[in-house]
Amino acid sequence: MELYIYSDESGVFDYKHNNYFIFAGLICFGKVEKNIITRKYIHVENTLRQKPQYSKGVELKAARITNQEKSKIFRSLNQVFKFCVAIKQKEIEKKIFENKKHKQRYLDYAYKIVLKKCFEQMISKKLLNPNIIGKIIVNVDEHKTATDGKYELRENLLNEFKYGTFNFAWDTFFQPIFAKLKDVELNFCDSKTVTLIRAADIIANHCYHSALSNKGDVIPKSNLFIYNLPSNSITAYGFEYFENKKFN
């Protein structure tokens, strides 16, 4: 089976002027579920497009629509599995912000660790059989990332999920999550043309404003996995939905 991940970010990674930074998105378990979620999301968008201000050419992203409309779209994703990593920028090591390379490496770490912890949680609850995952397709909103940065992110994800990682400081090897994984595909997508990137934008925006309202804590909603940095704490809400929908 293939796993499809769609994600976006919210906030600015700059601790001097911003308190919180969010990576968030959704996970589709197989092509059939991905297509179903896409069709349902387009239907919700088409409902909004009945309003004259949202013609067909207008991209329905969080920055453009009202809070009430954002809430409506977010609720339409209640039955979709969502994830979020919330970074409290004032509390992480300030050396991370010294240059673009350090910042990008930390953000890559934050991105891969939330996915890793999310999958580990599902596997531990026997909701996901790691031996049936053959490929992971990661789709992120396109942004100004150098080609070598894109390559490094894919390699980090591949090592984490397929080959395993080694901590030289502690002389420890971490086994890969998906031993039979064949590949990780990484795509940088235009939200105008990729429907579920727009869905990820709504999720990231919701989580960001939740963090702003609750001193950095994202309040859990339906089927939302939250990983907090730098505390490394987890909030998993909605796993019970998947107990009757095991991916084995």
Cα gap 122→108, rounded to integer Å = 22
What is the average per-residue pLDDT within 40-45?
Answer: 95
pLDDT at 167: 62
Lowest mean pLDDT among 9-23, 41-55, 76-90, 193-207: 41-55
Q: Per residue in 48-94, pLDDT tens?
A: 988 888 877 789 999 999 999 999 999 999 989 999 999 999 999 99
Tokens at residue 34, please? 């991905």
Q: Is residue 7 part of a domain?
A: yes
Q: At CB < 8 A and 24+ separation, what contacts does 151-160 make? A: 152/104, 152/105, 152/108, 153/108, 153/111, 153/112, 153/186, 154/184, 154/186, 156/108, 156/109, 156/112, 157/112, 157/115, 157/184, 157/186, 158/183, 158/184, 160/112, 160/115, 160/116
If pLDDT is split at 50, 70 and 90, which confidence band does 174 have? confident
Res 144: pLDDT:
52
Can you give the pLDDT at residue 221? 77
Residue 37 lies in a domain: yes
pTM of the full predicted structure?
0.92
Q: Is 116 inside any structural domain?
A: yes
The answer to whether residue 248 is domain-embedded is: no
**For residue 247, what is the enclosing H or E element?**
none
Check residue 94 and give its pLDDT. Answer: 94
Under 8 Å between Cβ of 29 and 3: yes
Is residue 142 in a domain? yes
In a domain, residue 247? The reply is: no
Does residue 138 lie within any of the structural domains?
A: yes
Question: How many domains does the structure of the chain reveal?
Answer: 1
Query: Does residue 120 form part of some domain?
Result: yes
Residues 23 and 204: beta-carbon distance below 8 Å: yes
Grade residue 120 by pLDDT with cuts at 50, 70 and 90: very high
Helix, strand or coil for residue 108? Answer: helix
| Residue 30: domain span | 2-242
pLDDT score at 176: 85
User: Which of 113, 94, 141 has the alpha carbon at shortest distance from 234?
Assistant: 113
Residue 168's CB is within 10 A of a number of other CB atoms, namely: 6
User: For position 173, which CATH number holds?
Assistant: 3.30.420.10
Per-residue pLDDT at 118: 93
Give the length of the chain.
248
Over range 17-32, report the average pLDDT: 95
Give the whole-angstrom CA distance, residue 38 versus residue 61. 15
Is 164 a residue whose pLDDT tops 70? yes
CB 15 within 8 A of CB 148: no
According to DSSP, the residues that pair with 9 across neighbouring strands are 23
